[in-house]
Structure 1
Amino acid sequence: MSERTPCKTGLSDGQWALIEPLIAAWNAAHPSASAHQGRYEMREIVNALLCQARTG
C-alpha cells in the first residue's frame, strides 16, 4: 500500500495504547466466519471513524 497523510484528528500513540487492548479483545471474541484477517489495521479504521465523526 502507498503511504498516506494521516488525518489531523488521528489517535496519538498514547490514546491508541489505551484502546488497543479493548479492540484486540473484541476481535478475539468475534472472529471472522471466513477467517479473513482484514485489509486494514484496526488503528487506521478507528482513525477514519474519528476523522469522519469530527469533519462530517
Structure 2
Amino acid sequence: MRPTAYDPDVPILPEDAQILSIDRIRSPYDARSPHYIEQGLSLDRMEVYLSATGV
C-alpha cells in the first residue's frame, strides 16, 4: 500500500490489478456509516455509468 499521489496523472491502481467488483457510495463519504447506492457492480457496468457522464 502507498498513499494516493497528488499528481492526477499517477495511476491509483497498478497496471496488473484485477477489479473484482465496484461499490457506488453516496457522498459525502462517512467511513463509520457508508450509504451504498449499488454494490457488487462489474467493471463493464461501471464503464457504462462513466461513459454516460462523459468520463
TM > 0.5: no
Q: Highest relative contact order (Cα 8 Å, sep 6+), 1 or 2? A: 1
TM-score under structure 2 length normalisation:
0.31
